[in-house]
Amino acid sequence: MEGGRPEEDYRGNHIVKHDYTKPLTYCIFRPAPPGEDVAMLARAAVGGDESALDMFNWRKAGNGAPLKMGPQEGLVFYVSTADGKVHCVDEHGRSSPVLSVDGSIQKLFYLKRREVLAVVTETLMLSQYTLGPEGGAHELMKRDDNYVLSLDESRGFEKGEVLNCVSYCTAKEILAAGTNRGRIALWRMVSQPNTRTDTKAQWKLQTPTEIEGNVTQLQWGSNLNLLAANSVTTVLILCEHVMSAHFGQQVAAVQLTPSQLSLTMFNTNSHLTLRSDMHIKGVCVTKDTVTVWNGKQVTVYETSGTTLRNTGSFQCESQVLAVHDENIYTGTVKQLLAFSEAEGNPVLLSVCQGYLVVGTDTAHIKVFDLTRREAKAHCSAKNLVDLTPNLGALRSVKCNANGNQVSILVTLVNGRPDHRMYFYDVEMDTLSHFDFFTGRPPSGISQADDTERRPMTELSERCPVSHFWDENEPRLFVCETVLVNSDSPQMDHLDRVDVLVVTFFCTQEHGLLLQDSYPKPAGLQALLALDVPYYYFTCKPGERDPEAEEAPAPDPTQSPSLAQASAPAPAAQSPHMVSRRALRDFQGLENCEKATRDAMLNFSFYLTIGNMDEAFKSIKLIKR
């Protein structure tokens, strides 16, 4: 083994030269401390090193980490040999053995944060060692602390498929593996309180990404956490895309693949598949239309029975889109909703009945009335930065059917999601919140004293991840919450449910009132919508909830091919991806008429606020 310093004359003057008698298998440097030695950079810059001068000016201008003053630690690297030995070479070129394992060493890793050296042998045995200042090594792991992650054929993998390479993204907690069949398997680490003793159960296999060829190399990189994939003949750079889903007017759409949607029409009990010629980045559905877009182009489909018809496509560079009535069919600009520079650029859109709420990149929100010929501002833009401590950015905004309440999820300045659910009262111009970490509402938001309800402590140590208003009932609100890690000893996390669906009544007079909370049913992936009398959930592929009610497939005796002969987007069979569950107070009343449904809602509301007289008046109107 030979080596030398790159800045010195290397013509035969070897700084390091050692003969280990056995073949070398791996070499790894121990990373230098963060920051650069300013004196070393200055000397190199004066000596004419343009890269050092650029680095010096770049750091001086305030870009990146500050310059490190003082001397650096000595540069150290480790060399492994085929007989299972690891040698350490210090800055003076002196070599000394530090550890020995059984079998030939295939790879070395240095874990900078823990200052640990990991060793992998050709028999795939992994061991970890702490390294002392004198060069000694102490083994950390001496037990069978390992498990196997396998591919699942139900997820789209083939029998006998082989993994060629792996790469881990710390920021996303995703393990990627390339296969010989051109697929990239992704395991996401999902912390679950009831599986803390079983680390294997916390790795969730995702739907694979498919590329051409044999995937021989994977590498995460850039501040965007992109994944580079090498398939011998091609190198691709991949970015993560969250599968889109939307519910509106009794129609649900869930993305299956980059260009395929599963559609469920609950009013007609029909199920279709839409295959688009674009990579879908978003979808929006109504009772008659399905709108998809990819950030540059928008395509609108009309639904009719068991067919889908392409009714229009136009260019539009936008990452967000919302549909109301027929205002999007041709792409003709009817009206521009302008925002000032201070108000920021619109990045979030959501429509409920005749109202549109817009969230901007400067944390402003604004509601528009869409019930007239032209959209009209329903309120002035509200700056949430002045009202919310440590607000970083808006994550999601939704308005109710009356346009007088806006629910908001935000990200803090440190990039973490806020555990508070915010509510903006448009008419009163006030902002309130419910803190899911403490499980208690602040002053101004009330909670009825009902001992039969779930205790508020059940709502503590949680974080909201999604939220929805009922499409027709402006008082009814629901959000999905997940349990967060906490050191609080007040409650055993092993007895807590991981995902809790929480329903509130929200009114100007009574504030926020807890109506119900219950664990998300097994086999369901995420809350999709609330439309009385049902909650709507997306389903995990291959993990269909057997108790969930689902829209039946079209009658197989009726051939859809005749009606679809000229349709550009033919319907086809695909997994049912949406399940609905009745609200607690509507179990057994799922098919009731509107008058009964309204009476049941009033009964539930008055029961929640403790007004038994009005509750009994409402229940007299309920008919089965």
Angle at 493 between CA 492 and CA 495, to 5 degrees: 75
Across the chain, mean pLDDT equals 80
Question: Does the pLDDT of residue 466 top 60, yes or no?
Answer: yes
User: In this predicted structure, what is the pLDDT of residue 133?
Assistant: 64
Strand-pair partners of 359? 348, 365
- Work out the average pLDDT over 19-43: 71
Beta carbons of 299 and 279 less than 8 angstroms apart: no
| Residue 519 preceded by cis peptide, ω within 30 | no
What strands, in cross-sheet order, belong to the sheet with 137-139?
105-111, 116-121, 126-131, 137-139
243-333+522-583 domain in CATH 1.10.4190?
A: no
What whole-number distance in Å separates Cα of residue 502 and Cα of residue 513? Answer: 11
Question: Does the pLDDT of residue 285 top 50, yes or no?
Answer: yes
User: In this predicted structure, what is the pLDDT of residue 40?
Assistant: 61
What whole-number distance in Å separates Cα of residue 242 and Cα of residue 538? Answer: 13
Instruction: Locate 138 and state its tokens.
Output: 């102490």
What whole-number distance in Å separates Cα of residue 105 and Cα of residue 125? Answer: 9
Q: Which of 361, 271, 338, 336 is nearest to 308 (CA)?
A: 271
State whether residue 172 is helix, strand or coil. Answer: coil
User: DSSP letter string over 507-576?
Assistant: ETTTEEEEEEEEEPPTTEEEEEEEETTEEEEEE-TT---TTSB-PPPPPTTS-TTTTTTT-SS-------
pTM value? 0.68
Question: Does the pLDDT of residue 294 top 60, yes or no?
Answer: yes
What whole-number distance in Å separates Cα of residue 512 and Cα of residue 447? Answer: 7
What whole-number distance in Å separates Cα of residue 308 and Cα of residue 568? Answer: 8
pLDDT tens digits along 325-381: 765 555 667 788 888 999 999 999 999 999 999 999 999 999 999 988 888 999 989
User: DSSP letter string over 209-235?
Assistant: EE-SS---EEEEETTTTEEEEE-SS-E
Residue 604 sits at φ, ψ, to 5 deg, of -65, -40
Instruction: Locate 204 and state its tokens.
Output: 């969730």
pLDDT tens digits along 295-316: 899 999 998 877 888 888 888 8
